[in-house]
């Protein structure tokens, strides 16, 4: 059976990810490039950054039904 390891995100890492994404989007860069940049700066995979970004984004954009 495959074993999965979850490494938590610190508030500082989330802030760094958010700043890379927000600044990059303001400069009209592709999100794939931004995930790669964030991954290199944070020492995580691009997909880990992508998943965390959508989690962060969802916290602020979700609407109660």
Q: Each residue of 34-53: pLDDT tens digit? A: 999 999 999 999 999 999 99
pTM of the model: 0.81
Alpha helices in 1-65 (DSSP H): 11-26, 31-42, 46-61
Q: What is the pLDDT of residue 4?
A: 56
Per the domain annotation, does 36 fall within a domain? Answer: yes
Q: What gap in Å lies between CA 55 and CA 32, rounded to an integer?
A: 16
Per the domain annotation, does 4 fall within a domain? Answer: no
Per the domain annotation, does 2 fall within a domain? Answer: no
pLDDT class of 12 with cuts at 50, 70, 90:
very high
Range of the domain at 33: 12-21+29-60
**For the chain, what percent of residues have pLDDT higher than 90?**
75
Per the domain annotation, does 35 fall within a domain? Answer: yes
């Amino acid at each position: 059976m495959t074993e999965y390891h979850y490494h938590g995100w610190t508030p500082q890492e989330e802030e760094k990810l958010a700043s890379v994404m927000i600044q990059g989007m303001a400069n009209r860069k592709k999100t794939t490039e931004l995930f790669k940049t964030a991954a290199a700066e944070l020492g995580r995979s691009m997909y880990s950054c992508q998943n965390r970004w959508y989690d962060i984004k969802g916290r602020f954009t979700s609407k109660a039904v």
